[in-house]
Structure 1
């Protein structure tokens, strides 16, 4: 009996051990990144009965999941699905199916290209039956924008017949038969069909196509065939199935556009060769009901000297179809030097001349060169009398058309009088005008406006945020009277946390009530309804609850095509608690006499609210640091949330950790918050190495989910936390002129506050940051030795040399950054030389005792690459341990995933070596000689 008990115990242990091991979690590795999924493209049918989304891993094949709202578990999963839409009748889902990525990769390894690689397919899913129809080799597809259950599918070129042709030639050599090659063309087969497949039409040699908004017609453009002059535009009536020729025998047709009610078709065409350097274009306007052209406009009929029709601006109709807007461009210039055929190419001079009088410096001109060469000026034709008015001019270039053009005028502006200052003053003004569509006449509204003016929906007001006055203002257009909307209200409307030398921005506006009755404007917490006719009687729609409870309320716009707000509708508000970081939704009315009603508020981040057009069903995303931002189903009451997606189930097998808010005081007594990420099963009695990362303020992201991913520049927080590091992210507030000391005065007290909580191995702490964070890393290690290692990405270390440098991504001078924005010096180099010197860590590099890993790439378009070199060379000269990672051809943050994976490995190896005592990799101990570049990565660890 005792033996039986003994064996029973042994058997029990044997069964228990595997179960125990199966429950153990593991740390993240760099191999986990590829499989980590994200959700995008969530959609809901108009009737609120079906929804869907797309899920993609970081590397590999994704999928589309579509499901009935009442039973989310009954999903239809389309493997490798992408870019899906619901049909207008809510009966179908249509989208593409991408080729299997592994298969494409194998073929690329075999040097296969172009037509020999797999192509996209198309799926048509019947929502009621669940049946899926698939079509192969699809280039693109489209459906009408507003109504009509039609589908157009443009296919890829047919499978290559080269081998067939070769066999045909070989078999007919004896008979000397000639094999006729098919004529080359850019066009392919187009299928137009009803979604149920009952009606269909096919057309060959189609290059482009589009539906009319109401689904009555489809236009398709035929491409030319080799040695044939047979390009053409056709119009298909979807009710009769008849195609009619609109125009033919031109070289190209472009910008083919329907009017809103499908009465008119417009396009631009030329019969010049595709290689012509100075092609002349004609604008055609075709009346569909008459089957004839109402007019055509070319250079000679334009009535404007030295201008031509440009294909580089899209065509747009007014909503009532009375006007067509198009672009004209300056006529081509002849330059004697350019056209001189007696000069050899190697004899031509190539140089840039920087002139002090230029409005833009040469690097900026070169960045903008392509757009300048395609510059157009907005022009309109009145389709009632065919009169033409040029709206944009070289003196006043910018004319702002609305999303839906419903008025006979628009706002126009120019910053030309102030443009020369832009290299150091990015908040230059602009002269604001009202432009009349009939005559093109421009009436000055105000000179040197600070802000971005817009028109109210009914066109009664122009309005903008005036940063110089920290107020919202409006101009009554009929009377040309300026109104200050917010100056006399008892709260601030500028950014209250603004801490740079620039003018503070605003908290935004939420839109206008119908008939321009009032505008909704945000302060830091609440929303105000302001009647421009009586701003003093402004109503706080959230009744001050936001400021009282530190809740930031913002209006949720639930109609994507909304132009103005119906005041009789319910006002749905998002809410965010500044102190606890809770978020959720409230409801109230537009009357301002109802205390906002809490619908849901919890320790999560809610975002991406989408409402069905014809029901109260909504989709919303929700996350915490530990919870994926999955999709949830609810209605506008938010009484219940039903989880629809289930991303990344593998996370349950990973040591993930947790996040908490840390409150602390800066050296000057200012209260701040930071985020502390702790390893799983954190024990304050143990000692953990700690990484400190920072960039401006991050505490509001407390409930953001952070996916494991290769590093583009900064440490991946989940990776380090999963590998038993503490990670601390403090907020920073700045004093003007003291960016370095401000960082020290905020970061160091934050670190000390975390140390006081317990669990930190104070002998093994490190800091890491990128760009502005990289600068602060470089500064801190000249002020303290409390960190055992440091990582600085794209750091500015010498403000005196960086000040006069160029941001090559935009071509702008870097002066503005120091005088007005993030670098926060607040004056020129000659006005405040000591500030530039004292905030530049390069001049105190001899104090550094901390090993440093620098990343600075040779195509950095934001921070001059030589800044990283200056830091590295100083440390090298001083015999301090330092490494510089320079990814070739890479920008400020890494763009290529292969390089991001590489950086992730090197970051973890570097910090593991210094903070955990792990062996150093060979790239740290031996370097990577140029002769070994591309032959080895030297990840191997020392014995």
Structure 2
């Protein structure tokens, strides 16, 4: 026998085996759980270390940390969560959660919660790579600004079981307390303090002090709050023997600790609270405020508000609530619970309808009004009241004024006019005096950094305006400029919004405002001399420039700071970064512009190291390392390597014209190895405009409501996602005029099996599906999730998620009728597919859930019953206890199976699953899923 031929034959066989082994496969529903996503990308302030969380959709995640200069030197911390770099850039800390499969096995064995494994804590030394772990950790905390400390709060200790060899010794009964052991220590372990029965705790932001609250143990006499000096290790008592302690807040430089407490019983219906101010250096309560100290009429100190300090530590802001009301009926103890009347009264004069009142009931019961205590003079000033109840406090309070507003005079119209105005004021913290800026103002106002101006976007005038607080004059910042500042593609009956304001230059010298493409620097003292900082390059080239925030703590824009811009080309969808000039003397300089999507840019606080995520439809949104020059990008993460073995496909940008001749774009997703000479079934999905997501990565995932595009593409479907432009009063015809020409444009490109096309959409998309199948029979199957089919009944319905009437949706927003039911009855009828259901020839799969908070689920019932009455093939999936989009993963997995089975049957000729052919009788509910395929 020829040994050479034997060797060649073995080599050929080996090559064939390798090729078979490397053959790509289609996605299955089993792939979802292991598909990874990346979150919580972080970089130390000095830029030396980087980390991020990687999590599968279902299972155990991990945190990867590595030196910026050496991404290959990764330390992987399995099952890590809630991870943070410490303020000194020396450690990484976080929790390690129990292994999910282990917990599941124990739950199947009906183990009690106390017997389940608990979280651990890890402390990772970035320099040495040493890892320390502590078991049974409930929570942990570190300072936010500086310091090298950690507080570790442990789970309660398990009771000691008696020694079985000693029958005389009984197990000790544990003392009753909500507190558990707390360890406070330096991160290097050189200093530590341990405290028992701690209930809550926090560090001062600068890491100088630490407060902890001791829970009572059998008696309130031993409940207390202490402050620990982290330099000396001395703990001092702040307050003791109170029933509750809340809102414990350090001042910015740790000079004071404020808190609210009461010694009334937990069962008290009307507990009285006091506000305490503790002087940290003297170790004594320096101020106690009680109800009698308040100037607010019938007010009380509220534990439901927030406590804030001004940055200079001279002002303490706190919440005041109106005093408790007495209700004779509620207090009458001679009435049995079953005798009490329970009803809702809807009054025409009410500002809010009853469902909205009930939705907001808890919030309203806890409503508070801001007061301020001047720590120098001791003066208390009431800042907001029921008449003017909203105060806009900045993140860092540095000025003696703030803006306040109320929409109470206009609130009654909110059910149908969601763009109601508000009366706008500025408030003096010293006197509480409110000075009117504008009645019925359109927009939400903010204060400039130096408090010289209030500014907002006036939707009614489509302009940005400022109000000079000293001159008491209103300034139109943009009206004289030659381009629009309203949303140019806005196509609903509401007032168009803006493209946003960037921020103010230092000293309130100018404000930066976006138009559709460019960025303008506008001096409020001379708006007509505004400077286009991007020199019109954006509008000229259809590129949207936006400033990237590099310092998230900035109050004003530093003229010496880098003016980094993101850039997005509306036509090609290319994305990247430019460097601009804050003086406007030079055009933006391109740093990077590629056919990708860039997101999540993060700069180290004290260096130029930068993290950014980059993706396409085919490439996962991995983390890349670069600097502010963007000359090179180094890939750091490697999400989902298993994708290399899966048929993934590609996406193509499709341009087409509507039936009215308007240019639009859409996205065509094509199976891997697409051959235009073959014929592929096609799914069509739509929701408003999606073409700008051309380079977005789409992960395989269970369906919350819509088809998962990667799954269908991987299983040899074409998927087309067209943009839609709407005409007022004609939402249904607009959908037809945009979607059908888009589908025809794709058909003209080749490769579409025109006998096997389907449409699917959710919510507004579900409505459009329902409308389209009354107008055309070109689709072989349809899926409509949460569809509105009867605008006349939906108009008077309720959005149960918010308690709002649905009127606004038809008069002003997405449904785009632009008038009331009695003003435009024919528009409501002609855009309602329910009245044309007799035309439907397309089998439909409807999903509408019984706790839908956006679209009343009787809309899905109306559609289903009409089709059933007309003897048309239709199925209604109603997931019990589910909202508008599915929230429970088990249900999302179920929907994914049923969607694929439904469309595979109609578009690929797959056997009918039993749930379609036989249904699921109520007596079989919960006993079988009926995924099995028939003959």
TM-score between the two structures when normalised by the length of structure 1: 0.98
2:100 maps to 101
Pairing 1:192-207 to 2, within 5 Å after superposition: 192-207=184-199
2:31 maps to 32
Is residue 721 from structure 1 mapped to residue 717 from structure 2 by the alignment?
Answer: no
1:876 maps to 868
Offset of 1:272 from its aligned partner? 1.2
Kindly provide the CA deviation profile for residues 41-77 of structure 1, in whole angstroms up to 9, marking residues without a partner as x. Answer: 0000111111000000000000000001111010000
Kindly provide the CA deviation profile for residues 742-781 of structure 1, in whole angstroms up to 9, marking residues without a partner as x. Answer: 0000000000000000000000000000000000000000
> Is the 8 Å Cα contact of residues 295 and 381 (structure 2) preserved in structure 1?
no
Counterpart of 2:794 (choices 787, 797, 802) is 802
Offset of 1:160 from its aligned partner? 3.6
Offset of 1:183 from its aligned partner? 1.1
Is residue 860 from structure 1 mapped to residue 852 from structure 2 by the alignment?
Answer: yes
Offset of 1:429 from its aligned partner? 0.1
1:931 maps to 923
Offset of 1:408 from its aligned partner? 0.8
2:167 maps to 171
1:405 maps to 397
Is residue 51 from structure 1 mapped to residue 50 from structure 2 by the alignment?
Answer: yes
Kindly provide the CA deviation profile for residues 157-203 of structure 1, in whole angstroms up to 9, marking residues without a partner as x. Answer: 11243xx14859x712xxxx776422111111111111111111111
Is residue 638 from structure 1 mapped to residue 630 from structure 2 by the alignment?
Answer: yes
Mapped partners of 2:265, 2:396: distance in 1: 36
2:208 maps to 216
1:658 maps to 650
Mapped partners of 2:745, 2:70: distance in 1: 48
Mapped partners of 2:112, 2:863: distance in 1: 44
Mapped partners of 2:820, 2:221: distance in 1: 62
1:13 maps to 12
Mapped partners of 1:114, 1:303: distance in 2: 49
Mapped partners of 1:459, 1:264: distance in 2: 26
- Find the residue that maps to 2:293 and give its secondary structure: coil
> Is the 8 Å Cα contact of residues 220 and 242 (structure 2) preserved in structure 1?
no
Kindly provide the CA deviation profile for residues 312-364 of structure 1, in whole angstroms up to 9, marking residues without a partner as x. Answer: 01210000011100001111111111111111111111000000000000000
Mapped partners of 1:193, 1:202: distance in 2: 8
Offset of 1:10 from its aligned partner? 2.9
1:225 maps to 217
1:476 maps to 468
2:124 maps to 125
1:564 maps to 556
Kindly provide the CA deviation profile for residues 524-577 of structure 1, in whole angstroms up to 9, marking residues without a partner as x. Answer: 000000000000010000000000110000000010111101011220000000
Pairing 1:337-736 to 2, within 5 Å after superposition: 337-736=329-728
1:306 maps to 298
Mapped partners of 2:4, 2:310: distance in 1: 90
2:65 maps to 66
Counterpart of 1:850 (choices 842, 851, 859) is 842
- Find the residue that maps to 1:434 and give its secondary structure: strand
Is residue 327 from structure 1 mapped to residue 327 from structure 2 by the alignment?
Answer: no
Mapped partners of 2:325, 2:43: distance in 1: 52
Offset of 1:913 from its aligned partner? 0.1
> Is the 8 Å Cα contact of residues 353 and 362 (structure 1) preserved in structure 2?
yes
Mapped partners of 2:460, 2:257: distance in 1: 46
Pairing 1:716-865 to 2, within 5 Å after superposition: 716-865=708-857
Offset of 1:441 from its aligned partner? 1.1
Ranges of 4+ aligned residues in structure 1 off by more than 6 Å:
none
Count residues with an aligned counterpart.
935
2:154 maps to 155
Kindly provide the CA deviation profile for residues 666-696 of structure 1, in whole angstroms up to 9, marking residues without a partner as x. Answer: 0000000000000000000000000000000
Offset of 1:607 from its aligned partner? 0.6
- Find the residue that maps to 2:443 and give its secondary structure: coil
- Find the residue that maps to 1:853 and give its secondary structure: strand
Mapped partners of 1:687, 1:551: distance in 2: 37
Mapped partners of 1:158, 1:380: distance in 2: 42
> Is the 8 Å Cα contact of residues 424 and 439 (structure 2) preserved in structure 1?
yes
Mapped partners of 2:621, 2:327: distance in 1: 58
Mapped partners of 1:273, 1:323: distance in 2: 31
Mapped partners of 1:610, 1:807: distance in 2: 38
> Is the 8 Å Cα contact of residues 422 and 442 (structure 2) preserved in structure 1?
yes
Kindly provide the CA deviation profile for residues 68-96 of structure 1, in whole angstroms up to 9, marking residues without a partner as x. Answer: 11110100000001111112221111111
Give the unaligned 5+ runs of structure 2.
none
Counterpart of 1:902 (choices 894, 897, 902) is 894
Mapped partners of 2:154, 2:324: distance in 1: 37
> Is the 8 Å Cα contact of residues 526 and 546 (structure 1) preserved in structure 2?
yes
> Is the 8 Å Cα contact of residues 220 and 243 (structure 2) preserved in structure 1?
no
Mapped partners of 2:243, 2:173: distance in 1: 22
Mapped partners of 1:608, 1:180: distance in 2: 54
**More deviation, 502-511/101-110:** 101-110
Give the unaligned 5+ runs of structure 1.
none
- Find the residue that maps to 2:21 and give its secondary structure: helix
RMSD of aligned alpha carbons: 1.1
> Is the 8 Å Cα contact of residues 115 and 160 (structure 1) preserved in structure 2?
no
Offset of 1:13 from its aligned partner? 2.8
Mapped partners of 1:46, 1:925: distance in 2: 61
> Is the 8 Å Cα contact of residues 310 and 327 (structure 1) preserved in structure 2?
yes
Mapped partners of 1:556, 1:755: distance in 2: 41
Kindly provide the CA deviation profile for residues 837-861 of structure 1, in whole angstroms up to 9, marking residues without a partner as x. Answer: 0000000000000000000000000
Is residue 252 from structure 1 mapped to residue 251 from structure 2 by the alignment?
Answer: no
2:265 maps to 273
Kindly provide the CA deviation profile for residues 695-740 of structure 1, in whole angstroms up to 9, marking residues without a partner as x. Answer: 0000000000000000000000000000000000000000000000
- Find the residue that maps to 2:101 and give its secondary structure: helix
> Is the 8 Å Cα contact of residues 295 and 382 (structure 2) preserved in structure 1?
no
- Find the residue that maps to 2:275 and give its secondary structure: strand
Offset of 1:113 from its aligned partner? 2.8
- Find the residue that maps to 1:464 and give its secondary structure: strand
Mapped partners of 2:5, 2:526: distance in 1: 90
Mapped partners of 2:164, 2:423: distance in 1: 70
- Find the residue that maps to 2:648 and give its secondary structure: coil
- Find the residue that maps to 2:876 and give its secondary structure: strand
Kindly provide the CA deviation profile for residues 411-454 of structure 1, in whole angstroms up to 9, marking residues without a partner as x. Answer: 00000000000000000000001111111111111000000000
- Are the structure 2 counterparts of residues 444 and 485 from structure 1 closer, same or farther at C-alpha, using a change threshold of 3 Å? same
Kindly provide the CA deviation profile for residues 785-809 of structure 1, in whole angstroms up to 9, marking residues without a partner as x. Answer: 0000000000000000000000000
Is residue 90 from structure 1 mapped to residue 89 from structure 2 by the alignment?
Answer: yes
Kindly provide the CA deviation profile for residues 801-823 of structure 1, in whole angstroms up to 9, marking residues without a partner as x. Answer: 00000000000000000000000
- Are the structure 2 counterparts of residues 183 and 588 from structure 1 closer, same or farther at C-alpha, using a change threshold of 3 Å? same
- Are the structure 2 counterparts of residues 154 and 110 from structure 1 closer, same or farther at C-alpha, using a change threshold of 3 Å? same
> Is the 8 Å Cα contact of residues 771 and 795 (structure 1) preserved in structure 2?
yes
- Find the residue that maps to 1:294 and give its secondary structure: strand
> Is the 8 Å Cα contact of residues 308 and 318 (structure 2) preserved in structure 1?
yes
- Find the residue that maps to 2:45 and give its secondary structure: coil
TM-score between the two structures when normalised by the length of structure 2: 0.99
> Is the 8 Å Cα contact of residues 569 and 589 (structure 1) preserved in structure 2?
no
Is residue 146 from structure 1 mapped to residue 138 from structure 2 by the alignment?
Answer: no
> Is the 8 Å Cα contact of residues 162 and 170 (structure 2) preserved in structure 1?
no
